[in-house]
Structure 1
């Protein structure tokens, strides 16, 4: 059966589309028209605008298109959503917002104090991995998906924890505390290792573990997160669960979700590791060249002094 029976509103979320367009307009108003109202500012960079637009497109793609609806039918798509929203979207947001917009926000006393604690590398990584792992425990995920406000709140909390996890790596504020390149590589690898048990729990489960993907009543209740209640009430009685829309078995879908989450995480982190490694290599090479140049200069100065001394002795 086609998912088109859920209607345009459930498939394309026009309210979210309007919200994303308004947020994008607000971004350009703040960073271009009202830039002079900030104590410190500079012209909006092209790459910052591109990153922010990518963030908005990705966000709408995750939460406003049929992908969101299908994420309640196929666990695989739910995990793709999680990977993109928690591992890629925060990067675009941090790099898309100019440092001079971030600065007055992070300097608010309460936010500054919270950041001092929650952007400590060990705290940030444990907070993110802990929340991600807890969210995907069957008892938690099934309960959260049955309440719209709880689901929205937990999703927001996960996204904030992802932002905090990336902040020590990408702090955009000049002279802000940021990890060195080699430490950044170790930090990313540690993140990849610690997220593995949560994925393994899903990959190696031999039976369906999520009620909201197997029990018809729980599934219909969870669908209220993206489908209007009156639309659900008018659906044909023959719809009993996700199996109506896919031939993929629940266990296979569940295992694929865990595998794809891990693969996407490895790809994103692999790109980051490559970037930080190249930065370290360039800086290390530049430092080595500088040391060599200084040593050569010192040797030449010493040689000239020795020659001058010999010359004076010869004249005397």
Structure 2
């Protein structure tokens, strides 16, 4: 059955598109117009602007395109959505925002204590992975998807926690907000390990465990998260169910979703490990050259004597 029966709003989320466009406009207003000529505020780099637009495009594709509708029909798309929202978009977003913006945001008297606490590596790791795992407990996820406000709140909460999770690895601010060397490696490895219980539960469950993907009545209620109520009321009683839109069995769909989430996480974390290694290698090379230069400078006067 075609997805078009749910209508244009469900497929392309025009209001969310407007929201994303406003975010882009606000970004350029702050980083260019609001910056002014203040010397302590570095100018926006073309790479940062491109990365921000990429992050916004990914955000719209993830939450505003038919991907979002499919995420309520197939669990595989749900986990694809989770992977992009919490593993790919946050680090791109952090890097795309100039340091002076982050500094002024962090120095706010209201945000500073929260930011300092939530970006501590152990706290960031445990809180994000803990809330993510709790969300995917069947009774919790099914309950969250029954209420549009609870679902929106949980989604925003997880996104903010994902920003805190990625901050120690990707931010460019000097000082207590950064990890270095082996600490970064340990952080990346811990991030991979802590997601294993949730993915394991999803992959190895003997049956499909989410009623919002298997029970027709609950599924229709959950579809209210992305389909206008007027459209849903028109479709009520038509015998719609997820099986009409896919040939994949619910348990197989669930397993594919769990595997997909873990594979994407491993790719992202593997990329981060490569970056950490090369950054460490370049630092060691630079420090080695500086030591050699210092040794030569000390040796020359003695040699002259």
Q: TM-score range by the shorter chain?
A: over 0.9
Q: Distance in 2 between matches of 1:177 and 1:161?
A: 15
1:55-110: CA deviation from partner (whole Å, max 9, x where unpaired)? 11010000000000000001000000000000111112111111111211110112
How far is 1:23 from its partner?
Answer: 1.6
* Equivalent in the alignment of 1:13: 13
Matched-pair contact (CA < 8 Å) for 1:52–1:96:
yes
- Could you give the per-residue CA deviations for residues 112-133 of structure 1, whole angstroms, max 9, x where no partner exists? 1112211111111001110110
Q: Report the Cα distance in structure 2 between the residues aligned to 1:173 and 1:107, rounded to whole angstroms.
A: 13
TM-score, normalising length: structure 2: 0.96
Taking structure 1 as the reference length, the TM-score comes to 0.92
Q: 2:86: which partner in 1?
A: 86
The corresponding residue for 1:223 is: 223
Are the equivalent residues in 2 in contact too, given 1:99–1:174 (CA < 8 A)?
no
User: Would you say the 8 A contact 1:38–1:100 is kept in 2?
Assistant: no
Distance in 2 separating the partners of 1:116 and 1:6: 44
Structure 1 distance, partners of 2:79, 2:135, is 12
Mark the runs of 5 or more structure 2 residues left unpaired by the alignment.
Answer: none
Counting matched residue pairs gives 305
1:259 match: 259
Question: Quick one: distance in 2 between partners of 1:95 and 1:168?
Answer: 12
Q: 2-side partners of 1:192 and 1:278: how far apart?
A: 20
8 A Cα contact 2:90 2:163, kept in partner: yes
- C-alpha displacement of 1:238: 3.9
SS of 1:302's equivalent in the other structure is helix
Aligned equivalent of 1:159: 159
The whole-number CA distance in structure 2 between the counterparts of 1:217 and 1:39 is: 60
> What pairs with 1:233-252 in structure 2 (closer than 5 Å)?
233-235=233-235, 237-252=237-252
The answer to whether the Cα contact below 8 Å between 1:100 and 1:173 also exists between their aligned partners in 2 is no
Q: Answer with 21-30 or 137-146: which moved more.
A: 21-30
* Residue ranges of structure 1 left out of the alignment (5+ in a row): 309-316
Mean CA deviation greater in 95-104 or 216-225 = 95-104
Name whichever of 174-183 and 103-112 sits farther off: 174-183
Alignment correspondent of 2:133: 133
| Counterpart secondary structure, 1:161 | helix
Q: Which stretch has the larger CA shift, 130-139 or 94-103?
A: 94-103
Residue of structure 1 in register with 2:208 after alignment: 208
Structure 2 contact 91–167 (Cα < 8 Å) conserved: no
SS at match of 1:239: coil
Q: Is the 8 A contact 2:12 2:66 kept in 1?
A: yes
Instruction: Identify the residue that residue 118 of structure 1 maps to in structure 2.
Output: 118
Instruction: After superposition, give the CA deviation of every residue in 1:18-74 in whole Å (9 maximum; x if it has no partner).
Output: 111122112112211221287842221101101110111010000000000000001
Is residue 145 from structure 1 mapped to residue 125 from structure 2 by the alignment?
Answer: no
Partners of 1:80 and 1:261 within 8 A in 2: yes
On the 8 A contact 2:203/2:256 being kept in 1, the answer is yes
Change (3 A) 1:211 1:39: farther
For residue 69 of structure 2, what is the aligned residue in structure 1?
Answer: 69
Distance 1:38 1:169 in 2: 28
* Paired position in structure 2 for 1:25: 25
Structure 1 distance, partners of 2:12, 2:230, is 17
State the secondary structure of the residue aligned to 2:123: helix
CA RMSD of aligned residues (A): 1.6
Question: What is the distance in 2 between the residues matched to 1:172 and 1:28?
Answer: 20
Partner of 1:56: 56
Which residue number corresponds to residue 180 of structure 1? Answer: 180
Change (3 A) 1:36 1:289: same
